[in-house]
Structures are given as C-alpha cells and as structure tokens.
Structure 1
C-alpha cells in the first residue's frame, strides 16, 4: 500500500507551485516538471513596493492540517517573510580580537556573504571575526580564489575583451551577450567565490552607480564597467570609483553625457551625480547648480570608432563655475581636470559621507539604521579620505551591528543564491545553463543582477519585497532545488544527496529529524511550533518514531527541506 499523498492544500503543494501531486516513486511526470521549473514556471508579475504588513503568528501546539495550511499559505507566508525575525536568538558579541562565538560568526556570515554555510561559519570562528573581516577587505592578497577565478574565465571569456575589441567584433550590430555574461558571472561569484564580502560590496555598488544590462546603450562596455570600475574599486576609495565611473563609456552612455556639449548640455548626468551618486536629493544644491554641474562635466565623452573613453575639449564649457561650495576658474587649458576636481569635491562632501554611511548601515545593520552609527561611520569615511575598508571595519565592530540580529531580510536574489549555497550546489557539466535558469528566476522575482531600470538601484528594505511574487518565486526555487537534488544524472550542476543533510545516525523521532535538518539548513534551532507544523505536514507528531523507510527521509524529504528553507528564519539576512 502506497503512503498517503500530501493534500493539495498543504504547505508542500503550495510551495511547489509546479510539481503537482507527487507519487512515492517520483513519477516521470513529476521529474520532468521539476526539471523544467527554471524555464517553464509561470508566476505573477513583480509586485510594486508596499508597506510591510504585520506578521502572522505561528500555532503554538501540534497543529491540525488546517492549522498547517494557515501557517504556510502564501499570504501568511508573505507576511512572515517580510518581517524581521526576533525568535530563538543567541547572544552575539561585537566583532573584536577575542574568541568568536558560533552565534557571532553566523551573524557576520549572514550579513557579509550571499548566504551563510556551515563551512563559512567555521572559517570565521577559526580565523576570528575581526581577522576574517580584515582578510576579506584585502581579498586579492589574503583570500586565494583561484578555483572561482578559473571557472569565471572558462565560462565567460568575453569579459576580458576591451570595449574597442567588442566594437571590432560586433559593430554595427549591438548584442546583449556581454551584458548576459556579466549578469551570470555575478551570480557565479556570489555562489562560489571565497571573497564573499567583495561580492556583497560589488552588488552594493552596482546599485549605487547604476549601469543596466544586458540591453541598451551600454551593450559594448557594461562588462568593462563592472570589472574596471565596480570590482576594481569596491573596497577602495569612493573618490577613485566616482571619477572612474564618470570617465567610463558605460556610465557616459547610461546617463547621456557622451553627447553633452557646452552649447547643449545634457543635465541628466549632472543631476544624477548630485542626487544619486553623492550628496543626495537633500544635499542642499539648487536647480541652477544642476546646470552648472552638467557644464563642469562637458567634454567627457567617447570615441565614435572604438567606443572607448575620449575627452573632447572642443565640447567643454569654458568659464568660471560654481556648484554649492565648489568653484573653479575653468580655463580652456584646464579642461578635463575641472570635471575631475568637481567629482572629488563631491566625493569628499560631508553630505556624501553621511549618504554613503547611511546606505552601508542600511545594507548591513537595519532598514532604519541608528543615527549614532551613521554619524560615526560618516566620520570614519571622512577621516580616511573616502576609503571604504575602514568604514566597513568600523561597521562590523560596532555595538549596533552586534545588536542587529534579525533586523534584515534577504532580497529575492539573496534568497535564491543562499538556497543553492546551503545545499552545496557545485559547478557541473553545463553550469551556464543552470546559471541562466537562476537568473531567469531572479528576474521573475524582480531582482535580476544589473536589472533595475531606474538609476537609483534596487531598494534594500523589507517593505519593498513584501509582496507574494518574490515569496512565491523563492518558494518555487527551493522546491526545484529539492527535487533536482534527488535526480540522477545531474546534467547541469551537482548536488549532494539530500540524505547527506541528515546526521549519520538517523534521529529517533520525526521531531528530532526536523530539528537536525533545521540545525543544518538554518544553522540554528527552529521554534517548537514550526517543528511541530512540519511534522503535522508529514501526518506525524514530533514524538512519532522515525524509521529509515519512512517517507520523511525518502520521497517526501525534498518537501521537508523546502519547508525549512521557506521559513522566515532562512529568509533572515
């Protein structure tokens, strides 16, 4: 007699959204549906940002099937995922030179990587949190990453092409190939790089100095912008990054400065440099400052034939200029240096210091960071002449960071990548095809790398991602990963067997099995009510004996894994 099938209204069926009703032996139809998930799942259009609703309470006793449905149905789960987690906290100490506890290491790993893993937590504990941060802030010297570098070089050889070489090979037919390469390489490094803090900061800066991909006016240069501007300066000085971005063909095309002239200045770049890249909309500049900002940047353009950066002195406005407190004689002989001096002034402006500090604190601490932390980080930024590494050192060692456990929620891309990281997905025979599928999922969820259409970058607050679309897409991804992990052969990437997530000695009860999986996947205990809800989904109680032939460790194990990965605990950054 075959085991009972899960009810269509239960959590697993709702979470999958694509597998249908499974059979105990994983029928061919179910396998094919799971295999097609990255290419064929139809999901709603991305949600518009809205306010964060109140969390849905979880049942406190062993729930009925109806209670399980209520706890995990999409609307309730969307509310749960959007709410920072406050339960089952362990004490977290400040990042310093002393011994690093597991809780401190886990908190740092969640914030400073694309997904904490047992190996990463152990690495932080072994090195010490302060030492690990110091290594990560000097990655090229202290964090060898040859395996990931070789993988990216093999999968994306076109990233090494100069802009002029792209022109030679593709002009006059534009292509999205280079942009696609950048997007998929970003995901590959987020998944497998040892330099996790660098990858987090690369993603941070791509949402500050926004150049979109794969299509658009930046088709020929976006890959070099990513390498030569963002990656090169991600842990360096912001003043250097700002100047490099302003002199790069991708940014010049993105914000129309390549065609700006002294007689017809295009104010787009001049405005965004003030509003988005530096002092912010409340920076104290006037509308007249925007025009003078644009004039200061005239002449910074591109070469028609090669597409490379080219300063056109004939287009540069000559004559005294002032923007806010900055002024320059701006003679014809000074030309390009005027724009550089203006950008360096903006990079060092106190308003810029506070804005960068606020954005970093929002990324790593909380959606509404403490004013005291922002003030102290801005002071570090100024004292270190716009260097970012000292700011991050101060941030991670702050009391505010230590106290912020549970105050950040993963965005869709982070949830998708962290799911694959915790399942230890490894490159395989056709890694690019799998990466393409992951990017497709992130795009459906509303957060494809380099995909935000506006120049202000993806939001990094929970309320912006509280809708059902992002949640359902993440659920579909976790379900697809669970099913793919039990398939053989694995033709794209490789997955460890799901049974390897369990202890070598099988737990004695269903509750102990769920607890063990939670410790492995969530790296912390799960509240008893949620453990009992998972057991109820299996038509068991926490005390029900567990045998090696039980469905919970067989054909229903992918569902159990998905349920745990779809909890608010895993959605917490």
Structure 2
C-alpha cells in the first residue's frame, strides 16, 4: 500500500509540474498515471492495423514472441523485422524498461523479495501462485518477448519440481520444502542468463540450491557419491542421452561434485562452528571435508587429485566443449523455435557452428536460428498450454492479473507451472498435448465471455488481431472463442 501511495504521489507531482494534458496520450497526467497503475498493457496507437503477412510478421511473433499483440505489431511496422529482432536480442536482465504497471505488479510479489529462509512462513499455495503469476504477467505484457521466450525455454530445460521435499542432513534429515528455494533459482539462474552464455546458465544451475535439493546433491559425499545430479547434468542439461558418455563418466562426475551442499541450519548472521564462513540458510556452499579429492577422469580427460572445489569448474568446461553439447543444445533450441522436420537437422548443424564459434553465446545461437531462411517454411508447432494461454491473452489484448482465474485453466489443460515432477521438463511432443483440446476450448469460451476471474478481453482489438474471424451470425464473443479454438491459432 505504501508503494502504491508513493507511485500515486509521483503521478500527482507529475501533474503539477507538467500541466493539464499529456502530449503522449492527450490525457491529463493524473489520469494517465492512474491508468498506468491499473493497466499493464503497453500504450499503443489506436489507428487501424495493417494486415498481417502470413509468412513474416505472424510467423516471427509466433516463434520469437508469445504470439501477436498490438504493441509488437506496431513495433514491427515501425522498425521492420530485422531491427525488431536486433532490439529484442539486446534485452536487459532487469525490468527498468517495462511499463510502470507491470513493474508495480511484479514488485508486489513477495516471493521474489523475501529471502528463502524467511519465505518458509508463507503458505505453499501462495508461493506457487505468485511464481506462476510472475511468469504469466511477464510473458503476456513484457516488451522483451524474446527474453521471455528464452526464460520459458531455460526454466523447462533446467526443470525443478516445486513440490519436491528434500532431506536436510544438517538437521538430522528433517524434510524441507523445495519451492521456497525456487524463486531465487528463477531469478539468478534463468532470468539472469537467458540471453547470456550456455556456460553461465548451466554453471549458475550447478550452484543453485533449488536444483541441488531437487536432485539430492546435498547428501552426496566422498563415501557415498550421489549420482542423481551428475546423471541429469550429462543427460538432460548438456550432452543428451546419446551424448557419448558412459556410466563410468556419471560416477566420476558425481565424485567431482561431492562436497557441494546446501546450508540448511538456521544460522543467518551467526558465525559457523565449522570455521567456513557466514552463510544464510538455503545458500549453496562447498564443504571440503565431504569432497572426494582423488584423481578423476571425465570423458577421457584427467582431473588431477587435490582440485577441491575447482573439480566442478573442470567438469563444466569438459562437458560444454564436447561436440555433443553443441549438437544437443542446438537441437533443443531448434525444436523450440523452429519445430521438427527434414530441415531441422541442417538448421541444428548451423546453430551448432555458432555455438562453437561464439563459445556458447545463446544470443548468437538464437540470432542464427531466427534469421535463417528456413524459419519462413518452418513446420507448425502445437502450442503447449502455457504458450496457448499467453498467446490468447495477447491476441485479445486482455487485461489480467495472472492469478487463480488463469492458473486454474492452465491446470485443467495439464500444465500447472513448476509442477512437472520429472527432471526432463514438460513434454515437447505434440502427442503429449492433444488430450487437452477440450480444456483449451473451455478456456477460449470462458476468456471471451468474461468467465475467467480478474481477466477482461478487448473485443475491438481482438477482432483486429484475430482477423479474419469466423463468418457466422453468432455473438461477437462466440466468434472470438471459435477463432482461439481454431487449428490456425492452436498451432504456431
């Protein structure tokens, strides 16, 4: 409430300083400030939109963004495709350039402002609701659509099941809830590195308390190396199941990672008895007494004895320079942005070359992919429920707070966010989602008829963004629901 009053005060001050009307919108500054606080949708002009080119604007927005919106169509018309994409590739990691209303709504989510050890007093239902709300609001309203696409990609690639309960060895293996560690992971691993380097995002994940707790790394020590995280690091995060590693490599990586654990004692602000350092509860740290400091061999490369915590750094270097890493990670990006057909393998090789030349620059890999001529002839990809839901909100220029009204429909469609229990992330194959079509149609009908709580569509804007609408004599909301339920909209 104090923050809202402060922002309102800023609006009043602005009104006093700038006079009666705003040159930007023709509104009074006070009314404009109040509107901006209520409505996260970016301000766009209201003149008629140019028609969409079926191969061009719509294709690019379906792949590099979460579908078409008034803002992005205007940007494409003003900048052109190449300049729009170049701007998207320069997206910052912060939210300073987002709309005032979006920033205000995101700042109101306590899970991203409260330390993990204090967040444990918050009900689990609220934590999950706010995590999901953040993802929905950002994907729907952010001006940096490509960044949000990549956040969706990396959050699924480095999937963590929020409801996992992990054992806390320093507290006699008392269970602890993983979801309280997840907000920090999403902020410091996924969002901070979505357009950075593969080395950075995988490296940050290797020191994420949420990831280590999810895969039981906190109980791994020299006497009993736990292979869970080592296996998923090789199979799912870097090399792929056919990446050329052996069971012996898994065991050696597990030995390299022993000693990395989670501070689960309530020690914030107190000196530790083990003489290591000051740490907050939930922090990842290296305990040399639990580490296997002998010689190891990973993918044929020797790691000398006595390396200590640098063993983990060597593992990361070895696996990410392996040819399978370039191929596997490029293939996943191609599958996400392009799809899967006869051209996908050639495009994977092209993106893989960029990976090698740029030392794993995600920005460069995505640029290669999205600027490739193959994209204009890409096969259709069935939208997963999150993709479909957000693209529907954008296509109807909807005003929503992303709360339970939307989230309940996501659950019915089979994709409640951060609740996939397996480390491979939500399925990518079309067959996994064809059973959710009825739930999708129900969402389309509820959205366009005012049946989604705290969500309202813009009928006029939707008629433009979804043109051509079905030609029948039904009510406008029924025509919009049919458009959202059509194969043309279900696939991107």
TM-score, normalisation: structure 1: 0.68
Alpha-carbon contact 1:179-1:214 (below 8 Å) kept: no
1:352 lines up with 2:338 in the alignment: no
Over aligned residues, Cα RMSD in angstroms?
2.3
**Deviation at 1:250?**
0.3
CA change 1:338–1:215 in 2 (3 A) is closer
Structure 2 residue matching 1:158: 3-state secondary structure? helix
**Distance (whole Å) between structure 2 residues aligned to residue 153 and residue 411 of structure 1:** 24
**Distance (whole Å) between structure 1 residues aligned to residue 156 and residue 203 of structure 2:** 17
Alpha-carbon contact 2:160-2:421 (below 8 Å) kept: no
**Distance (whole Å) between structure 1 residues aligned to residue 66 and residue 104 of structure 2:** 18
CA change 1:451–1:395 in 2 (3 A) is same
1:480 lines up with 2:446 in the alignment: yes
1:440 lines up with 2:408 in the alignment: yes
**Distance (whole Å) between structure 2 residues aligned to residue 448 and residue 491 of structure 1:** 17
Which residue of 2 is the match for residue 339 of structure 1?
312
Alpha-carbon contact 1:176-1:214 (below 8 Å) kept: no
**Deviation at 1:205?**
0.5
Which residue of 1 is the match for residue 43 of structure 2?
none
* Structural mapping, 1:318-333, within 5 Å: 318-331=293-306
1:155 lines up with 2:108 in the alignment: yes
* Structural mapping, 1:131-530, within 5 Å: 131-140=83-92, 144-147=97-100, 149-166=102-119, 169=121, 175-213=124-162, 216=165, 217-305=177-265, 306-331=281-306, 334-368=307-341, 370-404=344-378, 406-427=379-400, 431=401, 435-467=403-435, 470-484=436-450, 492-496=454-458, 498=459, 500-501=460-461, 517=463, 520-523=464-467, 525=468
**Distance (whole Å) between structure 2 residues aligned to residue 455 and residue 358 of structure 1:** 18
**Deviation at 1:176?**
4.6
Structure 2 residue runs of 5 or longer lacking an equivalent are 1-51, 166-176, 266-280
**Deviation at 1:193?**
1.0
Structure 2 residue matching 1:376: 3-state secondary structure? helix
Spell out, residue by residue over 1:351-372, the C-alpha distance to the aligned partner (whole angstroms, 9 max, x if none). Answer: 0111111011111111345211
**Distance (whole Å) between structure 1 residues aligned to residue 376 and residue 481 of structure 2:** 29
Bigger RCO (CA 8 Å, 6+ sep):
1
Structure 2 residue matching 1:140: 3-state secondary structure? coil
Alpha-carbon contact 1:413-1:442 (below 8 Å) kept: yes
Spell out, residue by residue over 1:262-320, the C-alpha distance to the aligned partner (whole angstroms, 9 max, x if none). Answer: 10111100111111011111111111111111111111111122121111111111111
Alpha-carbon contact 2:407-2:416 (below 8 Å) kept: yes
**Distance (whole Å) between structure 1 residues aligned to residue 105 and residue 212 of structure 2:** 27
Spell out, residue by residue over 1:27-60, the C-alpha distance to the aligned partner (whole angstroms, 9 max, x if none). Answer: xxxxxxxxxxxxxxxxxxxxxxxxxxxxxxxxxx
Spell out, residue by residue over 1:147-193, the C-alpha distance to the aligned partner (whole angstroms, 9 max, x if none). Answer: 355234343133122324435x56xxx83533332122111111111
**Distance (whole Å) between structure 2 residues aligned to residue 446 and residue 275 of structure 1:** 25
Alpha-carbon contact 1:178-1:222 (below 8 Å) kept: no
Spell out, residue by residue over 1:373-427, the C-alpha distance to the aligned partner (whole angstroms, 9 max, x if none). Answer: 11010010111111100001110110111221x5222112211221121111124
Which residue of 2 is the match for residue 90 of structure 1?
none
Equivalenced residue count is 413
**Distance (whole Å) between structure 1 residues aligned to residue 397 and residue 99 of structure 2:** 19
* Structural mapping, 1:16-165, within 5 Å: 103-140=55-92, 144-147=97-100, 149-165=102-118
Alpha-carbon contact 1:239-1:343 (below 8 Å) kept: yes
**Distance (whole Å) between structure 2 residues aligned to residue 558 and residue 569 of structure 1:** 18
**Distance (whole Å) between structure 1 residues aligned to residue 164 and residue 311 of structure 2:** 32
**Deviation at 1:491?**
7.5
Structure 1 residue runs of 5 or longer lacking an equivalent are 1-99, 503-516, 539-551
Alpha-carbon contact 1:179-1:215 (below 8 Å) kept: no
Structure 2 residue matching 1:448: 3-state secondary structure? coil
CA change 1:491–1:394 in 2 (3 A) is closer
CA change 1:521–1:346 in 2 (3 A) is same
CA change 1:208–1:141 in 2 (3 A) is closer
**Distance (whole Å) between structure 1 residues aligned to residue 376 and residue 411 of structure 2:** 33
Spell out, residue by residue over 1:69-104, the C-alpha distance to the aligned partner (whole angstroms, 9 max, x if none). Answer: xxxxxxxxxxxxxxxxxxxxxxxxxxxxxxx96741
Alpha-carbon contact 1:175-1:215 (below 8 Å) kept: no
**Distance (whole Å) between structure 2 residues aligned to residue 380 and residue 148 of structure 1:** 38
Alpha-carbon contact 2:156-2:426 (below 8 Å) kept: yes
Which residue of 2 is the match for residue 68 of structure 1?
none
* Higher Cα Rg, which structure: 1
Which residue of 2 is the match for residue 563 of structure 1?
482
Structure 1 residue matching 2:56: 3-state secondary structure? helix
